[in-house]
Each structure stands twice: as C-alpha cells, then as structure tokens.
Structure 1
Amino acid sequence: MVDVRVEGPAVERGEEILTPEALAFAADLQTRFGAHRDALLAARATRRAEIATARRIDFRTETVAVREGAWQLPPPPPGLVDRRVEITGPTEPKMAINALNCGANVWLADLEDANTPHWRNVVGGQVVLKDAVRRTLAFTGPDGREYRLREDGELPTIVPRPRGWHLPERHLLVGGEPSVGALVDAGLYLFHNAQEQLDRGSGPYFYLPKMEGHLEARLWALVFDHAEQVLGLPTGSIRATMLIETIPAAFEMEEMLHALGSHAAALNAGRWDYLFSVIKVFRDAGPEFVLPDRAAVTMTAPMMRAYTEQLVSVCHRRGALAIGGMAAAIPSRRDAEANERALAKVRDDKTREAGDGFDGSWVAHPDLVGVCREVFDGVLGDRPNQMDRLRDDVHVTPEHLLDVAGVPGERTMAGLRANVEIAIRYLAAWLAGNGAVGIHGLMEDAATAEISRSQVWQWIDAGVELDTGETVTGDLVRRVIDEEVAGIGELDRLDDARFLFEQVALADEFPDFLTLPAYSMID
C-alpha cells in the first residue's frame, strides 16, 4: 500500500475533504501518473531548445493526419451548452457566493492563477466547492453580514481550474515525495463531487491551464479515463475546457482537442499568459521577438487576431465551443465617469469577440455580467452558441502567429515602472495568501505578475532603449524598484515581494515560472 501523508496544518472542516478514501484516490492518481507528468515537463525543455535553435515554431508534420481528418467531438454536455457569460474568481467563500449569485452561465472556480496555494487555500477551496455543488455554501463576514446562495433561478455551472502540470503540492506526500498539484486539485474535487454533479443534471467539468501541447492533453485524458473507472462514472462524463495560453499550444489546438477526445468541450483564449509564453519561448531569438509595453499589446494586434481567429475556427470545425478572454476591469460605484469608461472598454472587447464567432467570454466582476450578456445576446439571440459559424475564411500561418515585430507600440519608462510596481504589489498579496488582487481598477492574478517580470527580464536581456533614451539594464531596474517600492509605502510582505521580483526579473537565466520560487516562500 502506498504511503500517503498530509504534512500541512489543520484546516477548518479539512477532515471532510481529507478522508482516508479521498487521500487514497489522490495518491492513486499520483502513483499512476506522476512519473508521466515528470517526463512531459522534461520534454518541454527539449522542445524549447529546439524552438530556440530554429527561432520559429511550425505546425507538427507528424500530426498532419489529425489536422486533415474528419473527426468530431461529442456535443457539449448539460450546463456547458450556453456559456455566453463566465465569471472567474478564487474559491474564497464570499467571492464564490457573489460569483454564483451574479447571473453568469459559468463560474470558473479558480484553484490556479487567482489562488495562492497555501494549504489552507487548497483544502479550504475544496470545502467551498463541496458546499457550492450542494447549494449549501454560506458565509458570515467580520461585520456580521451574511452571504448565501440565492434560491430563485439557475446558478452558474461550476467549473474548477486546477493548477498547471508544473506545480507541486508539498503538503501531500505520496511515497515520501510531493504530489502533482493538478492531480491533488482535480482528484479531491472528483472524489467528492463528480457523482453529486451528475445526480444534479450537470457533471464534473474542468478548465485545464498552462499546457504546451497534445501530449499533455493526452495525459489529462488518461487521468479522466481512470477516474471514471474507479469512481464508477459514465464514460466521457468528465469534460474539460483547455486554455490555449502558451505559444506551443497555439500550434497544436486541433491535436489537443483530438488528444483529450471525448473529454474535450471547448478552448479558451487568454492574453497575459500567452504573451508570457511568447517571451519565455523566444527569449533567445533576437530583437524581432521583443514586445513593446505590455499594455500596448491588445487583442487587436495582428498576431493576437491570428491566434484568436484560429481558435474559433478550430473549435467550431471540430464541434467545440470557443470561449473568449478576461475582462479584468473592476467597475467603480463611486466614479460614474470612470465606470462608464471601463464599461465602454469591456463592451468593445466583447463586441469584437462575439463578432469573431466566440460563444462566450470571461468577466472578473459581477457588475460586468450585464454588459457581457448584452453583447452576446445581441449576436446569439435565442441560440445557445454560434458553433455553426465555421469561420472558413480563416487561414492562419506560422508567420501570422509569430508576427511579434508587427505589434504596434513603444517601449517606455512608464511601461517599465508599471511592470515593476504592479508585479510587486501583486506578489506581496500573493505571498500573504490572496491570489486575486484589485490594482488600479483591474483584477489581477498570477498571469499579470508573470508577463510583467518576463517583460522586464526580456528588456534587460535585449538592452532595450526606452522612450526616455535610457537603456534598460539591471542597474536601471534596481533604481526603478527602489523608487516604486518607496512609493508603495507600507504593505504586508512587501520586502519579500521585492526579493522575489528581483529573483525572477533580474536572474541571468530565465526562471520558467515565478510561482515555483514563490511557493517556497509561503507557509
């Protein structure tokens, strides 16, 4: 029998989640699939080295039969047919209740980028999910105010997002070694909620982040197949939406859907993690891959249009839904003009997505549900989606996807300062246990910190000249860090956040994920 041990501190109601049977199920997933995951992470490094040598990516020649084949995915399952408005957020009780009460179609319950993986968050998030599935979730705030799920109308479909393949869970040891965080998150959720969801007419659904190709999607298919057999679930009842948020994955969209097979439901297009991946993969490829200020790289840039239009075309050709990106604005209830500007920006973004053929999109705040729904209602009408819009006009080449030089915008001191300040503010909150942070009117998560520190690293490495005439060097960035930290003032974990930012932005060798060194600084 495999030795499984919990090394984390006690968590309120944790005994309901960490039952011997649930732990045995999670340990079984780790034993069966942990080494496979390790091999795939090693393959990532090999793949990046190949891309760095070639200074380009192309569609895989060995999978041309998949791209040219006539296969189709199963139709969307109950609860995932109409996804015109999806709200994202962490599995924190108050925010979860607000998300479930807001009128969205789907709640992306984020165990990944919007969640610091403190053990209390990992286990506490599972408690929230268990209660949410059973419609018993309630919370009383410090001021005595009570929050409960509404009893009238339908609640959003619950779709958790487990951690990416790269993240460990050091508080759950199997055979004396840390578990794979993704297997812990998905395994505990499935064990406690899969049958309950099916009994309620929905199902066990997931968002799958950070994958870099079809072999990683295939591993998830193996995990789901095994879970269905062990838990006695109907074949193909576990369905998942994959986030295409890495540049290698953008070249394997069809292969990833095919590899996930009967478990595949949709693809999603994001921005910050995608740009982070572009920098990471092409960091040695020369000045033509150096991005301008990240704020200038909008979804209307040619390379981003190619990426999103390819996603819609692939999804609808194969019978999957296409879900758009995040509206991160936090509406202001005190400043009417600022609020109208934020809503206008969101409306423009969602209008572009709906017009391109997306079937739905994300918002980060309940007050944005209305404008997102209004836009998609205007395009969809009474239809649940627009999967019948095949986008046969889309013909994307590698050159389109890799046209970084075609992105308009400057490299500015203001952009450098924004990267430093926002990343440090976010990392301080993350280290303190909060992975979803409002900063300057936007809801930020780990993807913001990743693109911010990556851009700083890239600009130093490339010796970028800013609009001020200054060249970006380590010394210049340290001066900016000094000034921005002084401007932030008092903030919990600020010194630790500064140390972490310098570690990942000023390193000689590019750290693949900032959350890996960050994880060693919590608990």
Structure 2
Amino acid sequence: MSAPAYAASPRDTRPSRPTPGIALTANLVGQESLLPPAALALLVSLHRAIEPERQARLAARRERQAFFDAGGLPDFREDTRAIREGDWKVAPLPAALQDRRVEITGPVDPKMVINALNSGAKVFMADFEDSTSPTWANLVAGQRALIGAVRGDLSFTADNGKQYALKPFDQQAVLLVRPRGWHLDEKHVRVDGQPIAGGLFDLAVFAFHNAKALAAKDRGPYFYLPKLQSMEEAALWETALSHIEATLGLPHGQMKVTVLIETLPAAFEMHEILHALRDRIAGLNCGRWDYIFSYLKTFRRHRDKVLPERGQVTMTQPFLKAYSELLIQTCHRRGAHAMGGMAAQIPINNDEAANEQALARVRADKLREVTAGHDGTWVAHPALISIARTIFDEHMPQANQHEVLREDVHVGRDELIAPSAGTITRAGFEGNVEVCVRYLAAWLDGNGCVPIHWLMEDAATAEISRTQLWQWLHNDDVHLADGTAIDFALLDATLRNLPGKLGDRAAIPGGSKIDEAIALLDELSRSDELAEFLTLPAYERID
C-alpha cells in the first residue's frame, strides 16, 4: 500500500522539552506532530480533572453488576423522578444536525474516511471504538486521516494504483467521531504513571487539531458517546467536554454530542442522560447490538433471562421494541433526535436470491424505524444508503419527525427486561463460536471491522456471541433445540473442528491469529467470571 497523502515526514530528531507528568510508551514516526507540547498539556490537565471520577464510575458499575448478579433488577431511579417529570428541553440543534436520516459508520483508516464522507449519507461516524482495533499505529493514522479530512486534502492510493480523494465540502457527509468508552485505557499514554482514558485521548486529540476549523464551518465538532450506564457518566463527559472547550477557547456548548443508548442500565436513565448533557446533546441512538450484549451481561446469572441464539433476537422482540419506542418518546419530548440502529448487512454478490432476501430484511427494519418515529438510521455499507434513504424520504419528507411524540407508549421496568422466546440451534451455537474466533483473530491482527457471512461484524456483535456462549455454558440445563446439552464438551468439539471449516487461513482477515483467538475464547468461556469486555484481555495482547 502506497503512502497516503497525509503521511508524516521523517522523524525530527532534535530533542524537545518533555511535558511534565506525561510519558508516551510508543515511538512512531509522525507522532510528534500529532502530539505537540500543547496537546500533551491538554491531555495532562484533562486526565487530572477526570480520572478520579472515572475510576469512581467504573467502581459503581462493578457494584451495580454485583447487585444484578445477586438477583437484583434494574429500575427507574426514584431520586431523579423530578428530572423525568419536569418540563425542559435540550439546547436547539445546529443546522448541520437537523437532518440525519441516513448515517454510515466505520473505522478511521483513510480509505474508509474518504469513501464514507463521499458516500451520500447525511452523517459519517468515524469510529475509534467498536470498529477500530486500537493499535498505536491505527490510532495515529486515524487521527491524521481525520485531520486531513477536516483540512480537505485527504487522499489515498491503493496498492492497485486506484486513487481516492474527497468530494467538495458541500457534498460530504457531516463528520461525527466516536471515541472509546469509559472502560478502556490508552496504555501508550501515561499521566502521573497512570494510563489515560482511551476516550479522553481520542476526543481531546481530535478536538485539539480540528475543533476551531470545524466550528468555523458550522460543523461542530460533533461526537458520539458510547456505552454510558448512568447520568453520572454522562455528567463526567460534560465535565470533560467543558474542560476541552475552555482550554481551546471555544464557547460552552460548541462541541455537540449524540449518546448511544446501548446498555440496559442506561435505558432507565434516558431523560437523566439528556438532562446532564442538555446544553450540547443532539439526540440518543438505539445502539442495538451493544444493547443486546448489555442485556446478556446484566442478566448473566439470571437463568430465567437466557436469550435464544443471536439471529432470533431481533428488534421485533418485545423488550427491544419497548426500548426503541421509549427512546423515541423520550427524545421527542425533549427536542432531541431519536436515531435508529445499525443494518449490518453487506451485499451478497454471488447469490442474487440470498442478496434480495437480505435487502428485504433491511427494508423491513428501516420501515419499522421510520414509522415508529425514528429521525434517522445507521448502515454499515454504502450499498444500503439508497435503500434506507428511499424509505425515510417516503415516510419522513421533512428533516426529522420530532412532532411524533409517541404518547401511546407506556413502557415500564417489566417491558424493558422481558426475555425473548426462541431456541438455540446447533448452527447458532457453532456460528457464535466462529464469529468470536474470526473477529478476535482479526482484531488481534489490527482489524476491528470484519465481514463474516455477509454481515459486518464489529466488537459489539462479537460481544453478543461471546457473552451468549458464556451464559449458555454457565447456567444449568441449557440445551440445543435437538436436546444436546450445552456444555464444555460441546465447546471443545466446536473449537476443535473450527480450523477445518475455515479453510485457507491466508484468505481470512487475521488468519495467522486463529490459534491465539481460539485459545483466548476457550479461556474466556471457561472462566467462572464473565469478562466485562472482550477487548480488555485482547488489548493486553496487541502492541
């Protein structure tokens, strides 16, 4: 692959004065220009302002999970009833975020950034989280690609000589950036001896280089915030964003955010999350895949809430329908967007009938979203943009549909936690194993977004498969539809047979890491405790 146009010049070997309190444990050509002293100073001040409360919030997560493991159930908070029942609105939305009917998401490599911004979608979410393996090289290249995109001169030349360049600014999607969640560290950057939060690094470095240029274009900067579990975690993001604005000389509220409601606890605090970020929040998003993962994780010890195989847990299941409709009602009451979820399908080029069946499912899903009242939706592949846009154009001719208040929706605790009916087939069990192993292998090899069986898999979808395996194996008397017990003998046999099913490893993303991925999945599945996130033990194995 030839060097992209934004590549750094060779290292400046002149010594620079170190920034007190911060140390970089990686040494990559070009990182000095990405992290000059002023950027490092911002990271130091931000870490010191946020880290104590971040650790307190992570401890609160662990305490809450222990309550769930002991049989407790999530519920709406009594101490925040006044927020839920109060009459208030979020700040007015900027012009660039009024119409978000189709958003495309993907990793931050330069080719993806160019193609997504040129795709015809209203918004591109550049993802440092679930679709990016956070190697230091990926993070540096991703930040530099986004700098080039904001500057307008990002280009890329592929190995075959094909060149990629940005369309004019007025023809590009609006850029939103998703930093990593509160639970993830950035081990290559240490402040006062501690790793900085990965999300703070992603957010602050992007804002340092691009915030003023984007503000001048009335384009933000805009962000997606992932995996929040409480209003206190939202308030911590508010503190971080305000700190960055003050440091960079931006007005309060310049940096706008959309929050993904992708954890079960957060579904009980949607009003509160909007309120905590009310000066800058543009909406909430139904992050369906992580939400299913969170349901599984929350109820990992609850035998009565074991879900069927992944393919049967669709948005028409009652607990997911309740969540999406409550999100619409909540957002529109407060003047915010209610964004729909991801269509993960990718075109099936060699089977016209199968491709049409897949696209029919996409159409049905997008029709469900727009008629329910969502203001926009997500797709993973450019080929789905026109399909989603056509459906939203037909049923939502205006920029959004905040006037759809969904006062008919009456959702309580029981509706949000009701388990799904369904079965676990042998193919479903083996499919979970294959997705976990193949995704882990690719992730360990530096690729965080992988097509598997005509679906674009990222960390969220892999987490569903991994957590289901653990829950099925660690709850008594769980069987396949054919009566076979789901036990470690079944897991052993499936893992043993998988390499033969995969064929030529050289043709598989991360093929050289398959054995390591099998060993890691086996270890995680056998552990008496469910690992909080797949990416935490995997992160120890990269760089």
Pairwise same-fold verdict (TM > 0.5): yes
Q: 1:416-435 deviations in whole A, cap 9, x for unaligned?
A: 10000111011111110010
When normalised by structure 1's length, the TM-score is 0.97
Counterpart for residue 370 of structure 1: 386
8 Å Cα contact 1:221-1:261 kept in structure 2 = no
Once the two structures are TM-superposed, the CA of residue 337 in structure 1 deviates from its matched residue by 2.6
8 Å Cα contact 2:439-2:458 kept in structure 1 = yes
8 Å Cα contact 2:182-2:198 kept in structure 1 = yes
Amino acid of the structure 1 residue aligned with 2:487 = T
Is 1:518 aligned to residue 541 of structure 2?
A: no
Range moving further from structure 2, 495-504 or 106-115: 495-504
Counterpart for residue 25 of structure 2: 7
Mapped partners of 2:188, 2:422: distance in 1: 44
Mapped partners of 2:315, 2:105: distance in 1: 19
SS in 2 for 1:324: strand
Counterpart for residue 411 of structure 1: 424
Counterpart for residue 143 of structure 1: 160
SS in 2 for 1:112: coil
Counterpart for residue 269 of structure 2: 252
Counterpart for residue 14 of structure 2: none
Counterpart for residue 288 of structure 1: 304
Mapped partners of 1:392, 1:379: distance in 2: 19
Once the two structures are TM-superposed, the CA of residue 276 in structure 1 deviates from its matched residue by 1.2
Counterpart for residue 86 of structure 1: 103
Name which of 295, 316, 325 aligns with 1:309.
325
SS in 1 for 2:236: helix
How many pairs align? 518
Mapped partners of 1:34, 1:118: distance in 2: 22
Q: 1:275-297 deviations in whole A, cap 9, x for unaligned?
A: 11111111122x21100011100
Once the two structures are TM-superposed, the CA of residue 152 in structure 1 deviates from its matched residue by 7.5
Amino acid of the structure 2 residue aligned with 1:467 = A
Q: Which runs of 5+ in 2 are unaligned?
A: 1-18, 506-510
SS in 2 for 1:103: coil
Amino acid of the structure 2 residue aligned with 1:440 = H
Mapped partners of 1:137, 1:221: distance in 2: 31
Once the two structures are TM-superposed, the CA of residue 54 in structure 1 deviates from its matched residue by 4.4
SS in 1 for 2:377: strand
Seq. identity, %: 48
Q: Runs in 1 of length 4+ with deviation above 4 angstroms?
A: none
Once the two structures are TM-superposed, the CA of residue 334 in structure 1 deviates from its matched residue by 4.2
Once the two structures are TM-superposed, the CA of residue 363 in structure 1 deviates from its matched residue by 0.4
Once the two structures are TM-superposed, the CA of residue 92 in structure 1 deviates from its matched residue by 0.8
Mapped partners of 1:522, 1:360: distance in 2: 36
Is 1:32 aligned to residue 49 of structure 2?
A: yes
SS in 1 for 2:149: helix
Once the two structures are TM-superposed, the CA of residue 448 in structure 1 deviates from its matched residue by 1.5
Once the two structures are TM-superposed, the CA of residue 78 in structure 1 deviates from its matched residue by 2.9
Mapped partners of 2:77, 2:156: distance in 1: 50
SS in 1 for 2:98: coil
1:171-182 pair list within 5 angstroms: 171-182=188-199
Range moving further from structure 2, 317-326 or 73-82: 73-82
Name which of 234, 243, 248 aligns with 2:260.
243
8 Å Cα contact 1:14-1:127 kept in structure 2 = no
Name which of 263, 288, 304 aligns with 1:271.
288
Counterpart for residue 435 of structure 1: 448
Q: 1:322-359 deviations in whole A, cap 9, x for unaligned?
A: 11110111113443333322221111110000000000
Q: Aligned in 2, Cα 1:122/1:240: closer, same or farther, shift over 3 Å?
A: same
SS in 2 for 1:32: helix
Q: Report the aligned-residue RMSD.
A: 1.3
Counterpart for residue 494 of structure 1: 514
Mapped partners of 1:460, 1:32: distance in 2: 42
Counterpart for residue 342 of structure 1: 358
Once the two structures are TM-superposed, the CA of residue 150 in structure 1 deviates from its matched residue by 1.5
8 Å Cα contact 1:359-1:387 kept in structure 2 = yes
Amino acid of the structure 1 residue aligned with 2:412 = T
Mapped partners of 1:6, 1:195: distance in 2: 26
Mapped partners of 1:279, 1:375: distance in 2: 32
Counterpart for residue 15 of structure 2: none
Name which of 447, 453, 466 aligns with 2:460.
447
Q: Which runs of 5+ in 1 are unaligned?
A: none
Amino acid of the structure 2 residue aligned with 1:457 = W
1:51-70 pair list within 5 angstroms: 51-70=68-87
SS in 1 for 2:96: coil
Amino acid of the structure 1 residue aligned with 2:484 = E
Amino acid of the structure 2 residue aligned with 1:413 = R
